[in-house]
């Protein structure tokens, strides 16, 4: 059997959440395991000494070594498995540094993003666990029992109160990790009044997973514990048990859940009351959908092995990305490229968007028209902020952009989409118009530039919604 190296997240040794993937690899390869944590990866990559063995492939699950570390490896058959929730902060320009490698994605949103960026060695594999037997299906009821395991600060008890109708609740069980309530990282204790009004019960870490599942099975509704997931083993397990999962409308949950059919999705930024009267039937459909996905998983397991073994497809660097970005003006952009809308939703802010009326597709279309018109009036422009928004602007009007200004001195002297990144002095010494690159930056930064650096406010152009 061929030998491969597997780089994994140390925490998975305890949770076994990636065991399903490892077991598939073990059928085909001899594996040397290397465990690390994201913040230790750079140091550990040196101690792993991966060049001492002639590996057929190196697979890195949820650990994203820096491109410079990967370039030092003798083995060039490198497969990276990013997680949507872990890699939200990787900019489009940084993704471009990973063109020489293969990607396996368990998030369709992330897969679409990498395709858009022109990464050809890219595979999507949707996973679902095998559904366990259930002794009996819950009966339909006007009132539901809810289960919530708080595992983040964003999804909390105050939010749940905004979402649920008290008259539709029989009881709510709140689970936490630590035995002592005060030691739990995220857990927020409800008021005594809420404990009584909502018939709240509590538990902490169970010695046996069967005990946890038993408690979950007493409920018909499961509240997803995080804003977004890499795969989402917790909510997938709940769906496999026939639970109606209530979740924010973010990946990967919204890649499995069709709102009102096999789960319930809500707008995290503008939460409204949800209807739980059909929770039991929704949960049964959730179980069936997980069963169907799992039945296809066997084919995906084979496809993953073929993908690891196959030769790298030739990449054209970011040429395809530049071609794709020019098509962003099309009105059906988000039919074909929904990941862009998902990215923007993650930066949603009530100050720059209004309720559910946001239509980012129309915004981008308007942005494209506005920038083209601006470019006719001003042949030379500066962008403030070397981020994703800057890349977007540059690729729409590349001939008009002189440079990008950023206060981060570590970026100075580098380039973004071919344009040099310079310091604030370049802004002070020139009279060019300055574009602010999206996501609510203008109101936060413009006053500082005017007051601290005496920049003429008429030079500053906001591209915010």
Q: Phi/psi at 217 (nearest 5 deg)?
A: -70, -10
> What band does 345 get if pLDDT is binned at 50, 70 and 90?
low
- What pLDDT does 48 receive? 95
SS3 (DSSP) at 386: coil
Residue 155 structural domain: 82-310
**Bridge partner list, 151:** none
- What pLDDT does 64 receive? 94
449 vs 95, residue with greater confidence: 449
Domain-embedded: residue 359: yes
The pTM (predicted TM-score) of the whole model is 0.72
Strand bridging mode 415-416 / 419-422: antiparallel
With contact defined as beta carbons under 8 Å apart, do 427 and 455 qualify?
A: yes
- What pLDDT does 328 receive? 53
**Cα angle 32-38-43, degrees, rounded to a multiple of 5:** 70
Of these ranges, 84-88, 134-138, 160-164, 392-396, the one predicted with the greatest mean pLDDT is 160-164
Reported as a single tens digit per residue, the pLDDT across 202-249 is 888 777 778 888 888 899 999 999 998 999 999 999 999 999 999 999
CA torsion 34-127-274-270 (nearest 10°) is 50
Residue with tokens 């690159």: 437
| Structure letter (DSSP) for residue 138 | P
Domain-embedded: residue 226: yes
Alpha-carbon separation of residue 385 from 358, 410, 443 (angstroms): 24, 13, 14
Strand bridging mode 381-384 / 433-436: parallel
Neighbouring C-alpha atoms within 13 Å toward the C-beta of 111: 15
Residue 223 and residue 280 share a domain: yes
Q: Which of 252-261, 349-358, 370-379 has the lowest mean pLDDT?
A: 349-358
Residue 254 and residue 138 share a domain: yes
Q: Which of 278, 310, 342 is the last residue of a domain?
A: 310
With contact defined as beta carbons under 8 Å apart, do 463 and 393 qualify?
A: yes
Reported as a single tens digit per residue, the pLDDT across 405-452 is 998 898 999 998 889 999 999 989 899 999 986 655 677 788 888 988
**Bridge partner list, 263:** 259
Reported as a single tens digit per residue, the pLDDT across 63-78 is 999 999 999 999 999 9
The pair of structure tokens assigned to 147 is 């289960």
Residue 239 and residue 132 share a domain: yes
The pair of structure tokens assigned to 100 is 């020489």
Residue 362 and residue 305 share a domain: no
- What pLDDT does 355 receive? 31
Residue with tokens 């574009």: 435
Domain-embedded: residue 14: no
Mean model confidence pLDDT for the chain:
85
Q: What is the CATH number for 121?
A: 3.40.50
Question: What percent of the chain is modeled with pLDDT above 70?
Answer: 83
Q: Which of 257, 283, 310 is the last residue of a domain?
A: 310
Cα–Cα distance for residue pair 361/340, rounded to 1 Å:
9
Cα–Cα distance for residue pair 71/61, rounded to 1 Å:
18
Residue 265 and residue 396 share a domain: no
Question: What domain count does the chain have?
Answer: 2
- What pLDDT does 304 receive? 98
186 vs 113, residue with greater confidence: 113
Q: Phi/psi at 189 (nearest 5 deg)?
A: -70, 125
Cα–Cα distance for residue pair 149/241, rounded to 1 Å:
16
Cα–Cα distance for residue pair 52/272, rounded to 1 Å:
57
Average pLDDT over residues 118-142: 83
Alpha-carbon separation of residue 260 from 2, 214, 246, 280, 427 (angstroms): 46, 25, 10, 12, 51
| Cβ atoms within 10 Å, residue 149 | 22
Q: What is the CATH number for 341?
A: 3.40.50.720
The answer to whether residue 361 scores a pLDDT higher than 50 is: no
Residue 331 and residue 304 share a domain: no
Residue 410 and residue 382 share a domain: yes
Q: Which of 310, 330, 354 is the last residue of a domain?
A: 310
Cα–Cα distance for residue pair 445/192, rounded to 1 Å:
43
With contact defined as beta carbons under 8 Å apart, do 142 and 217 qualify?
A: no
The answer to whether residue 32 scores a pLDDT higher than 80 is: yes
């Amino acid at each position: 059997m061929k030998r491969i190296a597997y780089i994994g997240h140390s925490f998975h040794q305890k949770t076994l959440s990636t065991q399903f993937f490892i077991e598939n690899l073990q059928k085909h390869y001899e594996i040397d395991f290397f465990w690390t944590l994201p913040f230790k990866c750079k140091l550990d990559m040196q101690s792993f000494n991966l060049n001492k063995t002639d590996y057929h492939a190196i697979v890195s699950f949820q650990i994203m070594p820096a491109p410079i570390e990967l370039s030092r490896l003798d083995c060039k058959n490198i497969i990276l498995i990013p997680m949507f929730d872990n890699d939200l902060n990787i900019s489009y320009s940084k993704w471009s540094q990973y063109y020489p490698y293969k990607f396996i994605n368990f998030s369709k949103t992330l897969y679409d993003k990498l395709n858009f960026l022109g990464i050809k060695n890219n595979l999507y594999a949707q996973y679902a666990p095998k559904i366990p037997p259930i002794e009996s299906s819950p009966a339909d009821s006007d009132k539901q029992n809810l289960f919530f395991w708080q595992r983040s600060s964003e999804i909390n008890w105050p939010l749940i109160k905004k979402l649920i109708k008290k008259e539709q609740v029989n009881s709510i069980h709140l689970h936490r990790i630590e035995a002592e309530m005060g030691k739990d990282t995220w857990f927020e204790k409800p008021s005594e009044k809420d404990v009584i009004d909502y018939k709240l019960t509590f538990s902490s870490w169970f010695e046996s997973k069967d005990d946890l599942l038993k408690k979950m099975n007493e409920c018909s509704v499961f509240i997803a514990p995080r804003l977004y997931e890499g795969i989402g083993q917790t909510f997938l397990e709940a769906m496999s048990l026939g639970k109606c999962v209530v979740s924010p409308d973010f990946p990967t949950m919204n890649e499995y859940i069709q709102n009102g059919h096999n789960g319930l999705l809500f707008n995290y930024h503008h939460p409204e009351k949800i209807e739980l009267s059909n929770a039991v039937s929704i949960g049964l459909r959730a179980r069936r959908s997980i069963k169907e996905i799992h039945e296809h998983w066997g084919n995906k397991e084979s496809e993953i092995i073929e993908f690891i073994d196959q030769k790298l497809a030739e990449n054209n660097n970011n040429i395809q990305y530049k071609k794709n970005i020019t098509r962003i003006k099309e009105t059906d952009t988000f039919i074909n490229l929904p990941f862009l809308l998902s990215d923007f939703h993650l930066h949603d802010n009530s100050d720059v968007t209004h309720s559910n009326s946001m239509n980012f597709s129309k915004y981008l279309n308007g942005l494209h028209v506005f920038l083209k018109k601006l470019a006719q009036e001003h042949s030379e422009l500066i962008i403030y902020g070397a981020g994703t928004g800057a890349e977007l602007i540059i690729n729409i009007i590349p001939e008009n952009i002189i440079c990008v200004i950023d206060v981060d001195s570590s970026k100075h002297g580098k380039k973004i989409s071919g344009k040099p990144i310079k310091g604030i002095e370049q802004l002070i010494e020139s009279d060019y118009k300055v574009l602010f690159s999206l996501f609510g930056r203008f109101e936060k930064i413009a006053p500082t530039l005017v007051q601290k650096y005496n920049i003429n406010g008429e030079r500053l152009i906001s591209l915010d919604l």
